[in-house]
Chains A and B, each alone.
Chain A
């Protein structure tokens, strides 16, 4: 079994990471801040102005541990491609499938189904937990999404699948604030928008989704898939469409859940946000630290995978799904089975 190791997140500006025998040594202002054994680390994600020595980058590449560079606020910039990520036959199969409308449609349907099922589960679970807000509205939203799931097998084109997914998303985000139980007047959501975020929830979603998308892209890369060639997501230069596909089913189950938990436990409060001129909202460095720590904890949580029936840490689900996707694309499995969260 592939081992669950930690992803090392470094966001202290001006840090310098270098190789010290078999350790990653982190220096800040020429002071040693940490020594992390390489064999505990699965990959490194750095934010903003963080330097890595060439020897460290080489060693990580040799060990097939990707490095990802994000901006200080968590926007994806670059990732290393390691020598293992070159299964050319798998990629050829992937590209052939992406060129075949029927196969693309089939994968897109399963990807969307996974996402909608997990949205439904998230809403139903919240409906059981909320007291002061309206559980019936959450249940109604779950029923509406259920109706969209029923439509999925009837879709004839990927555009139609995207339409169904979009309709479900509108329903989902409309009731999303009802799942929040703390600081409700502060945490509001106008609509789901990308950058720049104009409300606290969107700023959180953007951050957590970037982390998750990166996990999915690394997983795709490590089983030999091309992260850029997806099915539900249209191909576009610079877009990791496959990583976004793999991420769809995980958004409600891992990312959205994480945000709700942190807000409801009041580990994230209004103090963690900065309002900027012009309406943009960003998260403080401390809050990002809180989120990363929570995500790292959750990665260790074990779930039973509904298809393989194996107990699997949540953090390895992107790898399992990437492998299942690879098996499907290589003709080893007739469908792509999405991860359904329980």
Chain B
């Protein structure tokens, strides 16, 4: 594989909405709303780096990840090394678990699974499951890495690679996921692409009210 590795964070955006990925990673748009702001603060806390050991579990923070086989790279928030030496990725999210959009939830799982693919290669082991920690509700949820989820990671990776190559902005999703999207204003998913009725720059009607 000669291409540059695909950034793990891109997979999340892409899975949620390919256009969102393109706006952030290709167009360089970045709008801050309450979701991303909170997320950043959270990340600053987690991304302090370093190692810590408790009850036989070693916690690694900000661990660089790479998979040559799958062409992926990124940084894991937290990786726990269990007593038997196997790694478990833990992704920190500022959101509350139940409030996340269904696709958003899936996007998180894709990202976590992608981290595992890297860890499996780096540690030559197999990882059955990982955790997503929702700071909003102080809950951990377990995500098992099913064959379907693993396949979804590679589908997203290919999609990201195509977009980075073709650089064509995908059309808006224009559905309920947009209401939770911080790029709503930049994207304008519901603004008509064609001219709406009554809007005609070449109109020659003369209104005299």
Contacts and interface: CB of A to CB of B under 8 A. Distances in A.
Contacts of A224: 27-28
A90 B186 CA distance: 14
B56 interface: no
A149 B202 CA distance: 6
A309 B206 contact: no
Interface string A91-110: 00000000000000000001
A306 B202 contact: no
Interface in B174-201: 185-186, 188, 191-196, 198-199, 201
B14 to A, nearest CB: 17
* Residue of A86, A147, A149 with most partner-chain B CB within 10 A: A149
A132 interface: no
Interface stretch (A113-121, A179-187, A250-258, A291-299): A113-121
Interface of A: 1-2, 86-87, 89-90, 110, 113-114, 117, 120, 124, 127-128, 139, 142-143, 146-147, 149-150, 152-153, 224, 306-309, 323, 327, 330-335, 337-338, 340
B27 A337 contact: no
B196 A146 contact: no
Contact of A340 (B26, B168, B201): B201
A331 B208 contact: no
A42 to B, nearest CB: 16
Contact of B28 (A87, A113, A114, A340): A87
Nearest to B171: A332
Contact of B206 (A142, A308, A323, A333): A142
A307 B203 CA distance: 14
A117 B168 contact: no
Contacts of A337: 195, 199, 201
Given A2-B185, A128-B209, A307-B196, A149 B204 contact: yes
A308 B28 contact: no
B53 interface: no
A147 B206 CA distance: 11
Nearest to A326: B27
A331 B168 contact: yes
Contacts of A308: 188, 191
A117 B202 CA distance: 8
Given A89-B26, A308-B188, A331-B169, A146 B195 contact: no
Contacts of B204: 146-147, 149-150
Contact of B27 (A87, A127, A142, A146): A87
* Residue of A139, A146, A323, A332 with most partner-chain B CB within 10 A: A332
Contact of A143 (B193, B196, B203, B206): B206
Contacts of A306: 198-199
22 contacts: A86-B28, A89-B26, A89-B28, A89-B167, A90-B27, A110-B201, A113-B202, A124-B206, A124-B208, A146-B204, A147-B204, A149-B204, A306-B198, A307-B191, A307-B196, A327-B188, A331-B168, A332-B193, A333-B193, A334-B194, A337-B199, A337-B201
Contacts of A87: 27-28
B207 interface: yes
B3 to A, nearest CB: 18
A149 B205 CA distance: 10
Given A89-B26, A139-B208, A142-B206, A330 B169 contact: yes
B24 to A, nearest CB: 12
A120 B206 contact: yes
A327 B172 CA distance: 12
Given A334-B193, A335-B195, A337-B195, A146 B201 contact: no
B195 A307 contact: yes
Contacts of B202: 113, 149-150, 152-153
A309 B196 contact: yes
Nearest to A330: B169
A239 B209 CA distance: 40
Given A2-B185, A128-B209, A334-B193, A307 B26 contact: no
A72 B148 CA distance: 67
Contacts of B198: 306
